[in-house]
Each structure stands twice: as structure tokens, then as C-alpha cells.
């Protein structure tokens, strides 16, 4: 079951990113501080009144090419209209209603999507009257807010969450492995779907972005049931989508949320680019089992070291996903294709692996004996007890005397010891340190 998506749309300098950070929490606005992970971010997750959602800041979407503000705003609005469940349309009380606002409003009206108008920079009571002119946009009551002062954010979320669609439960059997294919345009997602299915079920073209919708395709292999979630392409064709497709994360987010295993496709001909790191980061942060799939391997001139060098290149670029295995194949010729599904099954199994508490405590005790925790001003971190509290991804809680003393490097050391003992191939592990209480 995927989270619904709320998108923030509006012209530049109305405060979209400030509101985005307010909603997800400022500390979450920067991707975790680990080597090699991308730090700029245009999406996050939030919860309000018991409803979880993903939120996308279209202000973080960069547009290549001509520096035309309205063109940029229009593209962002189109992306939100296509993919979001609810759209927050942000305007500026200080500037007032502009031609750009009117133009975006016309697009949003035609979309028939639920729209909430957020009037930003209503910093005090004297500015309340500035809100009235925005009634003319035709979206009902505008919500006055102040991003800089945190005023009205709760009212805005009330209005947005109220308009979210009802959750629809998916009816797949528990033993079905849901596999999402993500990657930038033209890496061969649809070709890989067709190769795995053995038939032309998805339109394939050399033109990036020709798949018109995300498609769920069930199939069975060697007694194991799978569902492929293909995220290739945008729904419509045209220059707008060709220009912005590589920045559209909304469909990938929906697919990743619903998946057990995520295949991060990389174009073997072109090699790794920065956008591949963005895309892989979505799967990592969602806690999904992941596999790097290097496609178009048939087109590469190879010697006995080529594969080794390419895999090392992946490791160097994706330092935050050293757990993810790498599979080289060609969807077009089906070379090495047989190697993929066994890896999918393995990482899915590891993603759902649960370790007995006494065994986990033995491993951590041995790790501490070999390399004791750090000290700070004469005080030493003491880890009293360890337990696994969740799967998908495996989530481990360390109860300690002072969680603030847990250094990232020591946490990584413990994670490496856990992986050495139990493998956990293909899945991230989440480790949290909590203060030991009497109840524990």
C-alpha cells in the first residue's frame, strides 16, 4: 500500500521549500549524513491526524535549458497534476495575486485534482486582509500561513489531509514478491519487464519516456510468485516531459513504497551519473531491499576485469548502499538474465529476516569485547540489551546508558558485525539507540 502524495506548487520565491521543511521537520530536510549519499532533497514523508503521506517540493525541481520562470512553473504544475493526489498551491500575500498565479490556477482548475491554496507570508494579524483577493482563484477558502514563523501549518495540513483519497488495500498474497523497477529514462526498464515475462507486454521504444503508465504485471517462476511494478516514463509525451522527466520522483516514490525489492537500473553504456544516486537514494531511505542492475551489458567491450571495475565504480559512487548486490545483464539479448530472479528471492528473504534476541545479544557482546564503545570525558557508552523490533527492513534497537554517546562510526562497526554474522544481503539495516528504562 503506497502513501498518497501531496505536491507543493507555485511560482519562485513564494516559500515552497520553507513550508516543505516545516511539514517534514527541518532535521529531515537533509538526507542522512553518510558518505556518498546525495544531500539535496525534494521529497519527504509526513504524518498528520493519523494519515501518512509523501510530500514533494516542486521548487526543488531544477529545469535545464532556457531560464524562463513561467515555463518552469508550468512544468512543475504539470508534474504535480499528473502524479499528486492533493496539490498545495502556494501564493504570496506580500506580492499579491500575479499573472503567473492566474496561469497556474487555470491549469490546476482543469486538472480536477483536490487543491488547497496556501497564502504564505501572513506574518501577523494586520495581513489577514491580504488573503481575500485569493478567493478569486476559485479553490474555496485560502489558508493563511507563515513559513518563517510556523503559523497556520496545522490548518494547512488539516485541509490537505482531509482531501487525500481513501486508502485501498492491495490484495496480493503474502508470498508474492513485489519488485519495482526504477531508473532514469532509457535505461531499459520496459525491455527488462518484457525479457522477464518472455513476451511483449510493455511498449518498448528507443525514445526516453514512451511508457505511458506504471503497470503491475504478475507472473510466476519456479513456483515463486512475483509482481513487477514498472515505473518507466511519464504518461504523456512532449517537450515538457522530456525536459523534466529525470527530475520527476513522484511515480518512483509510489512504486518504491509498494515494493519489497527495488531494482535500480543503470545504463551500462553511459555509466553512472548523479541522477542515478538520487534515484537509488529513494529506495535506500524507504528501507527497501535493493539490487543494482547494470543493463545493456551486451554493448560493452569487455575483458576479464571490466565487470570487476564497473562494480567497484558502483561501490565508489554508492557508499551508502554497499549492501546492495550488483547484477550485470542485457534485457535485449537476455544474456545473464537468469541470474536476476534468484538474487531477487535472496534479498527479499534477507529483508524479512528476524534474528532471535539471545543470538543478537551474543553477537553484540562479542563485538563490544573486541572493540569497546567510545568514552567521553571519562564516561563510557554501555550497551545493556539489544533486540530486533521489526523486519522489512530489519530494525534493531540498542538500549544504552546514554544514547547521545553513540557515535556514527561505532554504530557502523556494530552493523558490520551483524552483517558478518547474518548476511542481510540487499537490505538496509536500521539501528536505533534508546535509553534503558526500568520497564526495559
Was 435 annotated as part of a binding site? no
Was 184 annotated as part of a binding site? yes
Was 401 annotated as part of a binding site? no
Looking only at the bridges linking them, the beta strands covering 224-230 and 143-144 are unpaired
Was 13 annotated as part of a binding site? yes
Was 295 annotated as part of a binding site? yes
Was 16 annotated as part of a binding site? yes
Was 100 annotated as part of a binding site? no
Was 185 annotated as part of a binding site? yes
Cα–Cα distance for residue pair 351/426, rounded to 1 Å: 7
Was 437 annotated as part of a binding site? no
Was 175 annotated as part of a binding site? no
Was 238 annotated as part of a binding site? no
Was 60 annotated as part of a binding site? yes
Was 120 annotated as part of a binding site? yes
Was 294 annotated as part of a binding site? no
Was 122 annotated as part of a binding site? yes
Was 190 annotated as part of a binding site? yes
Was 123 annotated as part of a binding site? yes
Was 90 annotated as part of a binding site? no
262 contacts 229 by C-beta, under 8 angstroms = no
Was 244 annotated as part of a binding site? no
Cα–Cα distance for residue pair 436/398, rounded to 1 Å: 9
Was 426 annotated as part of a binding site? no
Was 296 annotated as part of a binding site? yes
The residues, ordered by sequence, that sit 6+ positions from 87 with a Cβ below 8 Å of its Cβ are: 6, 7, 8, 9, 80, 81, 108, 111, 113, 114, 115, 116
Was 14 annotated as part of a binding site? yes
Question: What are φ and ψ of residue 276, in 5° steps?
Answer: -60, -35
Was 189 annotated as part of a binding site? yes
Was 61 annotated as part of a binding site? yes
Was 159 annotated as part of a binding site? no
Was 126 annotated as part of a binding site? no
Was 392 annotated as part of a binding site? no
Residue 3 CA from chain centroid, whole number: 11
Was 384 annotated as part of a binding site? no
How open is the CA angle 43-46-51, to the nearest 5 degrees?
130
225 contacts 176 by C-beta, under 8 angstroms = yes
Separation in Å, CA 401 to CA 358, 409, 432, 436: 20, 18, 13, 6
Was 17 annotated as part of a binding site? yes
Largest interatomic CA distance in the chain: 73
Cell, residue 260: 519489497
Was 58 annotated as part of a binding site? yes
Was 143 annotated as part of a binding site? no
Q: Which residues are annotated as a binding site for GTP?
A: 10-17, 57-61, 120-123, 183-190, 230-234, 295-298
Q: Which residues are annotated as a binding site?
A: 10-17, 57-61, 120-123, 183-190, 230-234, 295-298
Amino acid at each position: 500500500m503506497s502513501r498518497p502524495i501531496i505536491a507543493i506548487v507555485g511560482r519562485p520565491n513564494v516559500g515552497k521549500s520553507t513550508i516543505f521543511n516545516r511539514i517534514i521537520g527541518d532535521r529531515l530536510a537533509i538526507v542522512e549524513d553518510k558518505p556518498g549519499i546525495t544531500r539535496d532533497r525534494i521529497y519527504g514523508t509526513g504524518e498528520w491526524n493519523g494519515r501518512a503521506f509523501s510530500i514533494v517540493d516542486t521548487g526543488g525541481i531544477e529545469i535545464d535549458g532556457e531560464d524562463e520562470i513561467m515555463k518552469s512553473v508550468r512544468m512543475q504544475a504539470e508534474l504535480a497534476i499528473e502524479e499528486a493526489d492533493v496539490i498545495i498551491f502556494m501564493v504570496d500575500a506580500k506580492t499579491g495575486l500575479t499573472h503567473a498565479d492566474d496561469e497556474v490556477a487555470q491549469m490546476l482548475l482543469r486538472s480536477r485534482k483536490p487543491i488547497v491554496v496556501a497564502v504564505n507570508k501572513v506574518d501577523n494579524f494586520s495581513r489577514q486582509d491580504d488573503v481575500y483577493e485569493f478567493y478569486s482563484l476559485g479553490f474555496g477558502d485560502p489558508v493563511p500561513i507563515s513559513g518563517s514563523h510556523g503559523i497556520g501549518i496545522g490548518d494547512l495540513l488539516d485541509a490537505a489531509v482531509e482531501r487525500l483519497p481513501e486508502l485501498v488495500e492491495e490484495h496480493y498474497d503474502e508470498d508474492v514478491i513485489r519488485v519495482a523497477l526504477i531508473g532514469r529514462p532509457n535505461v531499459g526498464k520496459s525491455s527488462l519487464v518484457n525479457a522477464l515475462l518472455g513476451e511483449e507486454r510493455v511498449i518498448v521504444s528507443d525514445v526516453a519516456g514512451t511508457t505511458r503508465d506504471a503497470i503491475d504485471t504478475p507472473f510466476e517462476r519456479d513456483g515463486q510468485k512475483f509482481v513487477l511494478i514498472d515505473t518507466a516514463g511519464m504518461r504523456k509525451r512532449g517537450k515538457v516531459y522530456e525536459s523534466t522527466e529525470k527530475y520527476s520522483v513522484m511515480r518512483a516514490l509510489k512504486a518504491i513504497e509498494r515494493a519489497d525489492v527495488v531494482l535500480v537500473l543503470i545504463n551500462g553504456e553511459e555509466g553512472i551519473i548523479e541522477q542515478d544516486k538520487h534515484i537509488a537514494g529513494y529506495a535506500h531511505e524507504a528501507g527497501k531491499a535493493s539490487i543494482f542492475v547494470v543493463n545493456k551489458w551486451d554493448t560493452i567491450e569487455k575483458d576479464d576485469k571490466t565487470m570487476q571495475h564497473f562494480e567497484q565504480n558502483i561501490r565508489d559512487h554508492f557508499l551508502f548502499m554497499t549492501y546492495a548486490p550488483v547484477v550485470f545483464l542485457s534485457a535485449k539479448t537476455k544474456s545473464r538474465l537468469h541470474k536476476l530472479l534468484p538474487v531477487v528471492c535472496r534479498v527479499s528473504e534477507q529483508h524479512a529476516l528476524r534474528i532471535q534476541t539471545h543470538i543478537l545479544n551474543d553477537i553484540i557482546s562479542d563485538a563490544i569485547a573486541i572493540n569497546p564503545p567510545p568514552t567521553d570525558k571519562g564516561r563510557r557508552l554501555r550497551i545493556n540489551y539489544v533486540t530486533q523490533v521489526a523486519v522489512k527492513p530489519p530494525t534493531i534497537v540498542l538500549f544504552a546508558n546514554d544514547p547521545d554517546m553513540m557515535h556514527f562510526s561505532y554504530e557502523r562497526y556494530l552493523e558490520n558485525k551483524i552483517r558478518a554474522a547474518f548476511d542481510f544481503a540487499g537490505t538496509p539495516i536500521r539501528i536505533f539507540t534508546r535509553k534503558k528504562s526500568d520497564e526495559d
